[in-house]
Amino acid sequence: MIKRNICFILTALFLSFYSFSSFAQDSAVSTPAFEGIRSHDNKQHYLKAPALIIPATFLIYGGLNPVVNGISKLDNHIMAHVQQKYPHFHSNASDYLMWVPSATIYSLDAFKVKTAHSFKQHLMLDAGSIAITGALGFGMRIISRNIKSFNTNNTDFPSGHTANAFRGAEILYQELKDKHTLLSYSGYFVATSVGVLRIYGKQHYFSQVVAGAGLGILSTKITYWIFDKIKNAKEGREKHSF
């Protein structure tokens, strides 16, 4: 029962927040006065407030574990249940599943499926998001290393596997959202399963998984924002050179 609840909570949290933020982003440029710059704005919204609702909420939730009693109580309740009901559960599936969302992009490239960027650009976006996720995650682990509530039961804050999975899921979403809306969400379900496996493998608490999801999503948004800035600057220089 609690396994289904964890899956439901993670999926429902993401989809509800994401539906709201997507609506907010669309609404922000839906008036006639902004229709002329809609396409340009859609490429620049990665770090605007509506787009940050999900990752910020997830990161704040995980980060408040030491000071909000209810968060730590839920973590302990879920961990105690898992240890009691599934003491011998172990799976390496998350080691491979976390790469599925980002790997899917290259499969789409191989089958010539239309996405927002080219194969070479996918390589840059993928590598950039991995670097940013790793750097931010490493910093968070250094900071949280001396905070007891983040390191009980030999766990780490945040979940690196979950961060990597949601990093790839966000790439898949950004690449497919305009032309293949339903498929664009598929990566998040795979990423959610990675988070559940980390909890049931007793490698992480629930809040650490939630924070990992926020880290992965935020890192990809930062990557796309930087990529667009560099691309636009390059195009601007080329335009002025003529």
Q: What is the 3-state secondary structure (H, E, C) of the chain?
A: CHHHHHHHHHHHHHHHHHHHHHHHHHHHCCCHHHHCCHHHHHCCCCCCHHHHHHHHHHHHHHHCCCCCHHHHHHHHHHHHHHHHHCCCCCCCHHHHHCCHHHHHHHHHHHCCCCCCCCHHHHHHHHHHHHHHHHHHHHHHHHHHCCCHHHHHHHCCCCCHHHHHHHHHHHHHHHHHCCCCHHHHCHHHHHHHHHHHHHHHCCCCCHHHHHHHHHHHHHHHHHHHHHHHHHHHHHHHHHHHHC
Average pLDDT on 62-73 reads 94
pLDDT in tens, 1-10: 555 555 545 5
pLDDT in tens, 177-219: 999 999 999 999 999 999 999 999 999 999 999 999 999 999 9
pLDDT in tens, 129-170: 999 999 999 999 999 988 888 877 788 899 999 999 999 999
pLDDT at 237 over 90: no
